[in-house]
Amino acid sequence: MKLLYLVYFDINLPQMAGVKKKILSQLNAFDDLGINSELMYREGNKLLIQKNGKIKKKFEIKKGLSRYKRSIYKVFKKEAISSNYDYVYIRFPNTIDFSVLSLFKCVGKDKVILEVPTYPIKGEFDEQLKDLKNKKLYIEYILKNVLFMTHNLLSRNLNQYVNRIVTYMPYDSIWGVKTIPIDNGVDVTKYLPLTNKIHDSSTFVLTGVANVSKWHGFDRVIYGIKEYTDNIKNNKTIIFNIVGDGPEISNLKNLVKLNNLENHVIFHGPKFNEQLISIYNKTDVAISSIGMHRIGLIEGSTIKTKEYCSLGLPFVYAYKETKISDTFGYALQVDANENPIDIELLINFYNNLKINENYEEKMHDFAVENYTWVSQMKRVIELMKVEKLNA
């Protein structure tokens, strides 16, 4: 079986580092499962096809009203791209427009597998429109509104053009298309249990790693630190490491300054490899997404929870994770609301964990059992093989 993984954006942009890592992990999983997979993505005005990091083909594309979507469709049609593959696995291109539908038609319904990382997406649309309005970017607001209305109209009949939708949400169908529910995965061979943990009993260290957006809810932690430090009975020094860039960073920096918390909240910017592991080794509890309710989501499967789990790093989250139940003692689920995070609650959670020796290895074993990319993408491939046999 031969598969093309199509991404509409440039995966080499700095802000796409996390997404790129995920996509390459998925491709490696496909290869491990015996699927001959190739990646197609945009880089500037070029559309590239690569295999194992080596560029196989290049196509010139032009930016238009739909950015590069129309031009990518034209390449598919002119070069008969889909004739070389059994399936075309397409990462959701933010919205469905006429150019995207044209590409689906060109590929053929039986070959189209669409991955939709977040659903419902109305909350994200509303946040983008709200942000544009607050910034008084009215022309962009109108154009974006038209784009979203077009998406809402065209997505109603998506079952005519898409075979299956791969989703991280617990839905049997999305936009009338049958789903293949999976979890986000992690490369458990790279995210090994932390072995050089440093803990100072007088200090409590939190860390959140993300392309920081409102739905990560890091402001809730900042407000929680403010409440904790204002209470003279509390004597621990609280440190919150925020690692990564993102649209919410400037707002968080203003919030920290306003509350005089510069000694408690550290903005590291993007960190990778040994630098990131060094921060993790000084971390007591990691912060996963605690603001997904802001975009209308109460369930999900985030990448960071899988990475934290594979590292053996206890974490906090505020949504429903499919495989994490009340009996999973290494993660703390907090309420999905706008209240400040109770830092004392997090400290007690961590202190109770220390009684359970070797929890790092136990968390990693859980990730190995449940969160490898091979186990996730195997669900997709097995279903596709069954459908081919029954066709």
304-321 per-position pLDDT tens digit: 999 999 999 999 999 999
Q: Which residues contact 229 (CB under 8 A, 6 or more apart)?
A: 238, 261, 264
What span, in angstroms and rounded, lies between the C-alpha atoms of 204 and 218?
A: 16
What CATH code would you report for 203-370? Answer: 3.40.50.2000
pLDDT surpasses 80 at 387? no
Q: What is the mean pLDDT of residues 116-120?
A: 90
The two domains 2-185+373-390 and 203-370 share their CATH topology (first three levels equal): yes
CATH of region 2-185+373-390, choose from 1.20.1050, 2.60.40, 1.20.1070, 3.40.50: 3.40.50
347 Cβ neighbours under 8 A, 6+ residues apart: 204, 236
Q: What is the pLDDT of residue 390?
A: 65
Decide if pLDDT at 379 tops 70: yes
Question: In this structure, are strands 265-269 and 237-243 parallel, antiparallel, or unpaired?
Answer: parallel
The 10s digit of each residue's pLDDT in 328-375 is 999 999 999 999 999 999 999 999 987 767 899 999 999 999 999 999
Q: Is the pLDDT of residue 389 over 80?
A: no
Beta-ladder partners of 222: none
For the chain, the structural domain boundaries read 2-185+373-390, 203-370
Position 205 scores a pLDDT of 98
What's phi and psi for 291, nearest 5 deg? -140, 20
